[in-house]
Structure 1
Amino acid sequence: MPDLNLTEVERRTLEGWARRGKTAQAIALRARIVLACADGVSNMDVSRTLQIAPPTVTKWRRRFVEDRLDGLSDEPRPGAPRTITDDHVEQVITTTLEQAPPKGDTHWSTRSMAEAVGMSQTAISRMWRAFGLKPHQVDTWKLSTDPQFIDTVRDVVGLYMDPPENALVLCVDEKSQMQALGRTAPTLPIMPTTPARQAHDYVRHGTTSLFAALDISSGSVIAAHHRRQEFLKFLKTIDKNTPAELDLHLVCDNYGTHETPAIKKWLLAHPLFHVHFTPTSASWLNLVERWFAELTTRQTPPLGPP
């Protein structure tokens, strides 16, 4: 094995590659191999110290002796030359992010983009996957414009984090427009390799609204089916099903029925009830919404025939 001697420039360069955190780990390892060999360490000792195979040490020592620093770079791989350049990729990504889709289209598709930039649909699809672009998907968001947003959030979250003594904190809301549907045939059960199957046709049995009050301390729920206009009736249900000696702090959204004259009059006659409204467009702050979500995804049974 020929001796490996380094110039000052080569040593400084290799030491920089070996130390720099941003250097590709493969290059950093090769630099450490060459530096160790240049210090007179045998190939076997370098292999044991760096915990790599001896042929790996031999390979990069030989490559450095033959081509010096350039020899530590990967050699071009065999195969057809690259036809899609970085400029092509930049063009596709820039067009996707900054230019409007063709007239009449709501978003770019792989076909329309391929036609616009003169590439294949497959190439466009690969680029979008690599950059995590999904022009067909649109998420929504809502910004609360409530001028008292911060104060209201503090009030509600304060109830959750530090409930008053001798009081219950109940998150109250309604799940409206629940459709009672019946399938025209029995649902077929799940089987190996076959999902559960239900008839496409159904029979409507009207709609209903479910009012619920979630006790944040115990997780228990007071629930009742009423028409949307009967929130006052549900307040009376809560009054009957809670200890008379406890204050009741109700977290509600600012839906109009919660502030009607009849509701206000009833609350004045029941001073143990204290209503806390969530900010406008912030129903997510009401914990009973989480219970409604669980009810929808986990507790709604498959519909059978009417």
Structure 2
Amino acid sequence: MPNRPAYLIALNDPDRAVLETWARRRKTAQALSLRARIILACAEPDATNSGVARALGVSRPTVQTWRQRFAQHGPDGLLDEPRPGAPRRISDADVERVVTLTLEAEPTGAATHWSTRSLAKASGMSQSAVSRIWRAFALQPHRWETFKLSRDPLFVDKVRDIVGLYLNPPDRALVLCMDEKPQIQARSPTAPIVPMRPGQVERHTHDHVRHGTTDLFAALDICSGRVVGECRARHTAQDFRAFLDTIDQTVPEGLEVHVVLDNAATHKTPLIHRWLAQRPRYHLHFTPTSASWLNMVEGWFALLTRRQLQRGAFRSTHMP
């Protein structure tokens, strides 16, 4: 049979830019990249289907097919058409019914929440289908979290006061976030730690030996990020006053000191009141009740716990 005449490929600048992008970009699918190179080669003067096929290592019918598709539909003709695939068996109404049951109904019996199997039985669907629907809508009935609301009648005023200190500290003043981290345990495993190796995580014994506890007093300078810390055996009012003495020795004279702290009873004893009365440059700002997250030193405590304490092994409460 005589060969069919080749379709003429004349590329304008936008089409050539699209094809060159598809041909060069690393994230382009290999099939689309090959089709783009075929059309670019066919656009060369005196290019034949046989010559392009030999140059790119494909068959002549392949070059004919994509040359025709591009001539008829442009760059969109090189894209794969959607394939029908298997017919859908789960309708939108089925998905809505599963989501509604998950959010608004409770399982029968003594269960407190749905599982994929119990919901599959109640809805008449497979367990894997329920699991896919839950993942699609980010539903996790087996998980729950707690929260606590502050009942402080002056909540708004205290938040504005403390956030104002953070955003706009007073001139010639130091803003310190102060708190205690009590009952830090010095403990070590009952056997040596097995270090991490390829394919194996670090391993500790499930039990440990306690070597005492210590209480950490810390004050965070919000401007410089510097932390003044001190460990003590207890966290009584006397210990808090001793830590205030430590702070007083580190703060240069002539600076006002604004201290953000919580509502612990040890912060409001007559001993502390007398100490503050003798040092008028100190100003206390109490966080609302049940709102310790407003104290920035709590973030530093969390970082210390995560990086130093959780997996650490300590045989004494005394600093080396």
Superposition TM-score, scaled by structure 1 size = 0.73
Q: Give distance in 1, aligned partners of 2:93 and 2:221.
A: 59
How much has 1:133 moved relative to structure 2? 0.9
The match for 1:262 is 271
* Identity %, equivalent residues: 51
The match for 1:228 is 235
Matched, 1:250 2:256: no
How much has 1:45 moved relative to structure 2? 7.2
How much has 1:123 moved relative to structure 2? 0.9
Matched, 1:241 2:245: no
SS in 2 for 1:187: coil
Name stretches of at least 5 consecutive residues in structure 2 with no aligned partner.
Answer: 1-7, 20-65, 75-80
Q: 1:176 aligns with which of 173, 182, 185?
A: 182
Q: Which amino acid aligns with 2:218?
A: A
Contact 2:187 2:315 in 1 (8 A): no
The match for 2:304 is 295
Q: Give distance in 1, aligned partners of 2:118 and 2:202.
A: 38
Q: Which amino acid aligns with 1:259?
A: K
Task: Mark the CA change 1:75 to 1:282 in structure 2 (over 3 Å): closer, same or farther.
Answer: closer
Q: 1:115 aligns with which of 121, 141, 150?
A: 121
Moved more, 120-129 or 84-93: 84-93
1:227-281 CA deviation, whole Å, 9 max, x = no partner?
Answer: 1213222222212232233221111012222112222222112212110111222
SS in 2 for 1:228: coil
Contact 2:186 2:212 in 1 (8 A): yes
How much has 1:205 moved relative to structure 2? 2.1
Task: Mark the CA change 1:148 to 1:43 in structure 2 (over 3 Å): closer, same or farther.
Answer: farther
The match for 1:286 is 295
Q: Give distance in 2, aligned partners of 1:294 and 1:57.
A: 62
Q: Which amino acid aligns with 1:195?
A: V
Contact 1:186 1:305 in 2 (8 A): no
The match for 2:25 is none
SS in 2 for 1:176: strand
Matched, 1:127 2:133: yes
The match for 1:143 is 149
The match for 1:94 is 100
Contact 1:278 1:286 in 2 (8 A): yes
How much has 1:188 moved relative to structure 2? 2.2
Q: Which amino acid aligns with 2:285?
A: H
Q: Which amino acid aligns with 1:260?
A: T
Contact 2:186 2:314 in 1 (8 A): no
Name stretches of at least 5 consecutive residues in structure 1 with no aligned partner.
Answer: 1-41, 61-73
Q: Which amino acid aligns with 1:241?
A: T
Task: Mark the CA change 1:211 to 1:103 in structure 2 (over 3 Å): closer, same or farther.
Answer: farther
SS in 1 for 2:146: coil
How much has 1:177 moved relative to structure 2? 2.3
SS in 2 for 1:91: helix
Task: Mark the CA change 1:91 to 1:242 in structure 2 (over 3 Å): closer, same or farther.
Answer: same
